[in-house]
Amino acid sequence: MKSDTIAAIATAMSPSGIGIVRISGSDAFAVADRVYRSKSGKVRLCECESHTIQYGYICDNGQVIDEVMVLLMRGPRSYTAEDTVEIDCHGGVYLMGRILEAVIAAGARPAEPGEFTKRAFLNGRIDLTRAEAVIDVINAKNEYALRGSMDQLQGALHEQVRKMREVLLHELALIESALDDPEHITLEGYGSQLKDTVDNLLKTVDKLLKSFENGRIFKEGVNTVIVGKPNVGKSSLLNILVGRERAIVTDVAGTTRDVIEEQINLNGVTLNIMDTAGIHDTDDCVERIGVERARKAAAEADLVIYVMDATREPDGEDEAIMELLLEKQALVLLNKSDLRVVLTPEKIKSKINKQIISVSAKDLTGISQLEEIICKMFFQGELKYNDEIYAINVRQKNLLVTAGEHLKLVKQSITDGMPEDFYSIDLMSAYEALGNMIGEAVEDDLVEEIFSKFCMGK
């Protein structure tokens, strides 16, 4: 384990009121003392108590660089569980760089991305699920994502996994003891008992796996695609939702020829929204590429908003689009409702069994209803935020799948009447898979891969 002293700028590299340069390692206090001078010139940081704040100056070769506050934390009562010093300076980009240069010249080395959190993990202060939650908290784009990530940071997922591993370890110990001492410990009827235990574990695994897709939507947002024929108001709708003129709007059909992507926050819900080329038959090779991209985007979307022109009767192209949406989560917007309409929600309901809203991109009518319905579709029904686990990532999901597969093999061994030592093989494999979720016996290269995704200074 590395015990050398590292340093990095822990705040964003942009002008701000306050900047933080973080130092961590066995020589953190000594390094800080080499660049710090108290107002009186008599205070040495190495002699100060932990969890105190000192006021003074950062100097380089005798020259004062900045007036600062210095926060002192001795290990293990720090983020990394090592001696840590945080220099709170003014938030100028050049200034923070100068202070970091002085700290490095005084004996620290530049930290690698995520190295502070990696040290917290390696030093046993946090497990791997909590470490991964740190980056999720930083990257949270809405309230739901933040709350889910904070739950994981506080150990919600770790607690679930820990309990499952305790159960598995108990069963493994029981089997091992019975095999070593069959005269005093019997396994008669044990298969039936173990089957009930495994069933309960599988229910927990299944519950966590079901939350994976919910967690993806919470963290990454709802992938939303706007589709429809040319010149029905798709781009106007995008501009209204985004709140600015993001897409070119003209009376000429086929103005939008490629997918335009934007991200918006809709009442706390993140929408990754895409405006697409009008879906229709065309001989124009460029338009045809745009239409194919629109079809592909709709097929992969979490939500499709289908915009129709309420002043026109639906035709064969509309029928083809409706067919695309049969198995999709979709909304139908009857746009241009401020004009003389021939297409009503009642009329179109027989053709497509989706929620239908009459809107006017020109007068902004129906837009608030659209926003409310989208929120209800994703966050007031099955996906409403509660205290369940939502922040499961792909790595954790794959390990849960592996654990579940081994638990099912245990059940199969019981059904097949296999000897009890066969149970141990898959029970141990499930135990190890869950252990890898929280960082027990995790490979070094995996640790490096996980923390390389972190920002510098964290």
Q: Which CATH number fits domain 141-217+393-436: 1.20.120.430, 1.10.357.10, 1.25.40.10, 1.10.760.10?
A: 1.20.120.430
Segment 92-139, tens digit of pLDDT: 999 999 999 999 999 999 998 889 988 988 888 888 877 777 777 766
pLDDT value of position 300: 80
The CA distances from residue 458 to 23, 96, 134, 344, in Å, are 11, 16, 9, 55
pLDDT value of position 321: 83
Which pair of tokens denotes residue 219?
């963290």
**By the 8 A CB rule, do 430 and 89 touch?**
no
- Residue 344 neighbours by CB under 8 Å, 6+ apart: 310, 334, 358
What is the DSSP-derived secondary structure letter of residue 208? H
Phi and psi, residue 125, nearest 5°: -75, -35
pLDDT value of position 225: 86
pLDDT value of position 337: 86
DSSP string, 322-360: HHHTTTS-EEEEEE-TTS--S--HHHHHTT--SEEEE-B
Residue ranges, the chain, pLDDT below 70: 1-2, 138-149, 152-153, 213-217, 243-259, 267-268, 277-291, 378-391, 441-458
Tell me which residue of 441, 437, 427 sits closest to 201, measured CA to CA: 427
pLDDT value of position 95: 95
CA atoms 416, 419, 420, 424: torsion sign = negative
Q: Which CATH superfamily is domain 221-379 in?
A: P-loop containing nucleotide triphosphate hydrolases (3.40.50.300)
Q: Please, how many CA atoms are within 13 Å of residue 318, restricted to the half-sphere of its CB?
A: 16
Q: Please, how many CA atoms are within 13 Å of residue 449, restricted to the half-sphere of its CB?
A: 6
pLDDT value of position 141: 66
- Residue 48 neighbours by CB under 8 Å, 6+ apart: 54, 72
| Residue range 6-127 in CATH 3.30.365.10 | no
The domains of the chain are located at 6-127, 141-217+393-436, 221-379
Enumerate the β-bridge partners of residue 85. Answer: 23, 72
CA atoms 29, 30, 36, 42: torsion sign = positive
